[in-house]
Amino acid sequence: MNVGLVLSGGGARGVAHIGVIQALEEFGIKATMISGTSAGSIVGSLYSHGHSPKDMLSIVSQATIFSSVRPSLVSGGLLRMDGLGQLLKKHLPDDFSKLKRPMTIAATDLKKGEMTYFNSGELVPAILSSCCVPGVFSPISFKGSLFVDGGVMDNLPVRPLHGKCDFIIGSHCNGVSPTFDVTNFLVVVERSLLMAIGANTLHSKNLCDAVIEPAGLDKFSGFDIGKAKEIFDLGYRYTKENLGKLNFDKILG
């Protein structure tokens, strides 16, 4: 059975995907095809290359907001993701073709005003394109265009897998908290994006056979990478405790 795994964006909350994957594997469920946006593109690529959940947690825990970004000297954003690119190059191949599972990465093409789904060619620039939060990071110049976060138009990219898999699992970590305090500029940008992408995510959820959406993630900011282990544990526990309620009968037997 071809099992697709779709991983949403969500910044640091994307570490929950690793906990979800750990729990799925303990139930004997392994994805054969993966797609992801932003944080989901990082976790999905690492998983596609064969990294274990333990290894993935260790890798992403190194990606602090301070070590992974640099001030931008050009217009279009405040920061550049040079450090994140260097980290990814240490743990991932240079090309999609060298991954052990098919992987699709969603990014938003600023010039064309449309989605782009990368599944071949250079890998790390595609991931950075997908992770480029507009207004925070400078747009990524890649393949003759400029790209920003795929979540702007498709935060749960199920479309590339639709019709190719027998069962599609969506892992969504981008809920909007009912409480909000204006503490800094990044928090305002993040919440605005979360609200804007809600509509496209709802449609994508309906295309999945099962959706895992761990409760409690909304208390974390997308920049809370220092709480990676706590976020991982939340994703893991929720999946272990609720899989029987989430329409997995078809693949669990």
Give per-residue pLDDT as tens, 96-108.
Answer: 999 999 999 999 9
Give per-residue pLDDT as tens, 180-195.
Answer: 455 656 666 666 776 7
Alpha helices (H) along 73-184: 82-91, 124-131
131 Cβ partners below 8 Å, 6+ apart? 9, 38, 39, 41, 42, 81, 84, 137, 149
Strands (DSSP E) found in 33-124? 33-37, 70-71, 79-80, 103-109, 114-118
Tell how far CA 201 is from the center of its chain: 13
Q: What average pLDDT score do residues 85-102 get?
A: 96
Look at residue 65 in the predicted model and tell me its pLDDT: 42
In sequence order, the β-bridge partners of residue 5 are: 34, 169
The confidence band for 134, taking pLDDT boundaries of 50, 70 and 90, is confident
Looking at this protein, which amino acid is placed at residue 189? V
Helix (H) or strand (E) holding 232: helix 228-242
Catalytic residues: 38, 149
Question: In angstroms, rounded to a whole number, what is the distance separating the alpha carbons of residues 143 and 183?
Answer: 37
